[in-house]
């Protein structure tokens, strides 16, 4: 019931801000499905797939969703690439 109330508030606020209807529908559906504990693996896979799609649209190379999951756990990334 709480998830439904949150979804109503989310839709109301975002519609007042002229948000993209399709993105709002996707997020609201994910919120409602995520409220069911059994559905969490499906929600995680869907969220990761949507993120991979956005990364691919930005010309980032995404070969495996597992790589994105591992990268999501990184707080600090050190790089040793010399400038030329």
Residues carrying an active site annotation: 80
The rounded distance, in Å, linking the Cα atoms of 8 and 2 is 10
**How many Cβ atoms sit within 10 Å of the Cβ of residue 41?**
8
**Spatial distance between the Cα atoms of 33 and 24, rounded to a whole number of angstroms:** 14
């Amino acid at each position: 019931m709480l998830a439904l109330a949150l979804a109503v508030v989310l839709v109301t606020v975002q519609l007042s801000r002229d948000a993209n209807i399709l993105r709002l529908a996707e997020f609201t559906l994910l919120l409602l499905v995520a409220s069911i504990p059994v559905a969490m693996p499906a929600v995680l896979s869907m969220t990761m797939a949507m993120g991979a799609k956005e990364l691919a649209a930005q010309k980032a190379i995404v070969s495996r969703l597992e790589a994105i999951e591992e990268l999501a756990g990184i707080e600090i990334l050190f790089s040793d690439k010399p400038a030329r």
